[in-house]
Structure 1
Amino acid sequence: MVGSRGFPALAFLLALVSVAGASGPTSIFIDQIEEYKLLATCAELELSTIVRNMKWGCGDGGSYQSFTCFCYESSAKFSSMIGAHVMTQCPDDPSQNTTALEVFSSYCDIGGSKLAEIAGE
């Protein structure tokens, strides 16, 4: 059962999903985030494999609608996955883990803003 706190968030999510579906593909790419360029190669490769290549889920067959899966349906799962992979690949630079998670968070924030703009049109 969804509590009164969860209902507005759920309603917003459902509205975004329906708008994204009705409006067609929404191109939101993680490498458009300014901080993405600051990532060390070890972190960039992991983030790219997980999000850009959709290696472990949220694949959409090239229709550019995977944003909703990454950021609303499975954000905790992917944040955890990104953190674990980057930590493993960049053991000598723990700051890369933080930066990669910030990039993912910014990606979700910007994508949410873009979808909200579409909803307001």
Structure 2
Amino acid sequence: MQAGLKGRTERVIDEALLTRHVGGQGVFATPAMILLMENTAHGSVAPHLGPDQTTVGYEVCVKHLGPSRPGATVVVTSLLKEVNGNKLLFEVECHDGDRLVGTGTHKRAVVPALE
């Protein structure tokens, strides 16, 4: 596996991704954004893993820069910046239209898959 692999996910903001369950105003929840970032990063490298391998996240450093309303479509991207042994470093971003609403880094490790 080499640096440069990219991932992309589009998702419509629905009820499951909102802050209402924690008493918020019903906008895109930060934990939901992070989940999409993690899934996008994993998905970008999954085709390059062996059948007995997977990845697990172990560090997230993200800024949630602005709200996204229900019904908006967000686009999450990941870029594999560095491979160091089994450690992977990704740059991740989330856009709502032309607005950058989330940015940061995410680290994953390649590990044996559970049987």
Question: What TM-score, normalized by structure 2, do the two folds share?
Answer: 0.28
Question: What TM-score, normalized by structure 1, do the two folds share?
Answer: 0.27
* Structure showing the higher helix proportion among its residues: 1
